[in-house]
Structure 1
Amino acid sequence: MPTPSRPKLDNTARTVLIAAALVVTISMGVRQAFGVFLTPVVQELGIGREVFGFAIALQNLLFGLIQPFIGMIADRFGPSRVVVAGTVAYVAGLVFAASTADPTGLLVTLGIAVGIGLAGTSFVVVLGAVGRVVPEARRPQCFALVTAGGSLGMFAVVPGAYAMLDAFGWRDAILLLALVASTMIAFGFALDGSRRRDRLTATAGSPPPAQPAGAVSLSQAMTEARGSGSFWLLSLGFGVCGFQITFIGTHLPAYVGDVGVAGWVAAWALGLIGACNIAGAYIIGSLGSRFRSRNVLVVVYALRTVFVLAVVLLPPSPAVILAFAACFGFTWLGTIPLTSTLVARIFGPRYLSTLYGIVFLSHQVGAFLGAWGGGYIYDLLGSYDAVWMAMAGLSAVAAIIHLPISDRPVVHAAAKAT
């Protein structure tokens, strides 16, 4: 349905929007580069792909498990502190990963420390900040712009990481990524714009802006979410997304080598995913303001089914891999602005970081299975074929379960109770 008006963003909203986009550009860009390190790390440490995959899986699972709590902290104390603390954990994990010599070190650094760091520098935290300072009519576009930042990071960082890996070796390359990640501290401080604006308004003698109609307490918001079938269907679908993108990000470089395609194709395929999703995330996310986000999600998952089947059934070649990367990449992070927009529409923006954090937990459970399960199945069967087919089937299921999702706001129930 068309948007009746397009209100302008004030200076605070623009500042928060730019800072949020820069944080996810760096955080997600570095994260998506981990796949290019799989082969050299496995070879030097003498471990199986399952071990490396489990470290990335643990990172994603921890990232998801603590995300609702991180969201509550950001809702209560503001996102800036969360981003700064998350950046410190992220950088520490990368620095110590560069000196690890055994699987345990890999699990503690890339798995636990980076997982905690990602939770503090993720979409959940920054979209919550953006959602509170932009008008509802502009949320889909603004969420899409922030999401596109994650794709820009993937496009910029992954080929650069591959070049650093080739020039300096994997240990020095990870240290250079840690230096890049440290810059998130500077942008994190700009995310508390809405809290500063409210304090200035109150100091000037005017009451703070009224909260939108919705749940008047976190417990009521949690109760409404728990009783909403749409909330759980949205979470399940997001879990499929997590499985897909994490399997591809972690195992595509190794898969490309397995089928006899040159290694540079893998790095550029991951970069191409990011490049295509710069446009894709914005276009797909913006469609949420013209059409029902639920219906756009159905189309996204249906298209992913086709793309995955194509890469499995067609003979492997650089052209097939890069075409798959371009097509799948167009939908890569497009689920994020649509899913977060639905959560904000149904439950309101006040506790968006918390509620979207719960939905994101499902995404990260899927991510755990994609990273670890991909390595486990490869070590068990000697190929990724079964994982590709499972991914196609899950994508079809995700398309179907989004059909009954209702985007009708339920927050009025809490308002009536008061």
Structure 2
Amino acid sequence: MLSTSRFRLTITKPFIFFSVIMILKSYLAWVVIFDDVMPWKPLMTEIPFIWLVFSLIEMFASKRKLTIYMCVNLLLTAIFFAAIMYYKYYGVIVTYHALEQVNQVTAVSNSVFSLMDPYYLLIFTDIIVLFVLLWRSDRVKKWKIRHTKKEKRKFVPIVFILSLMLCLFQIMPNRASMNEIVKAQEMGILNYEAYTIFQKENTELADADMITQNKINELKQTPPPTEPLLQGAAKGKNLIIIQMESYQNFLMNLSIDGKEITPNMNKLAQESLYFPNFFQNVGQGNTSDAEFVVNTSFYIPPRGAATQHYADRELPSLPRLLGNEGYESATFHTNVVEFWNRAELYKALGSGVIMTNRSSAKMTNCSSVHPTTHFMPGLRRY
């Protein structure tokens, strides 16, 4: 009887109670994100960070200790849930840089919800239950009052130091890993999030005067062709670039039971120039990054979308090159121009006319867009 009551008293201590809850949530996140999860791995990688935070609460919190525990519980739960959903959508681990993209969520909300399994929401169950019980249950209110004092035992600082050492032990050896998913798996999701916040990027900028076309050619060791194959192929013609989303090369000229899957695209490819070796850059801007690359030939930024980093400047671009040859430029896009900050991107690229789904909705016939000297950086169909 005494041992049972002692066990009940121990398990109801906020430090132990919320540790058990967070371990269960970490297992849920790991099962969704990582393959071949070893049972001990989430426990060894996530619990040190959790205890590191909980030790701080025990050492410094008093009257509002349980409230702080619940706030930390909510924060860590949100991180795990964001990691799950971001991985399901992008296939990478979320970091604090994704906060720059929060305003894009509403535009892709249908896709996000389609990726959500109902059991993901179980991660919030304890928060809802505890909130209701704290509001209605006298027993839980007494539990809250009983644990308002600071923990005076000497083991709390020891737990803090050991947890900090374990966190560093997991972070330091894995910093050089090039695979972000492997890095998060070896560090632990929470350690990885902390690491991305505190890491310093030592980027050394090269002297622009040292970068010349001759040095680039020498480095690439690719002699320029004496007679470029396509030189002058579009001289005096209108240039239309059709850029498709979520469309892969294997569909081209593919037939099922003798019927072509993409007959119109096959005809377009035969009657124009088709570039099958355009590979997706692994970035967070997705389609907007693809437009950026096509129009500038630049690499995308290592974090965030190009539209968020480079849209505030005048970019050397294909529309501007064509403008020097007397062309006017226009962009036709079937989504809202605010999505991925495209309004600013098109201005930075020097595109003259911008038409989106709002403006094109007034058109009753596609033939109302007469062929003129227009350049279309993007024409998509979602």
Bin of the TM-score, shorter chain as denominator length: under 0.3
Asked which structure has the greater CA Rg, the reply is 2
TM-score by length of 1: 0.25
**Larger RCO: Structure 1 or Structure 2 (Cα < 8 Å, ≥ 6 residues apart)?**
1
TM-score by length of 2: 0.26
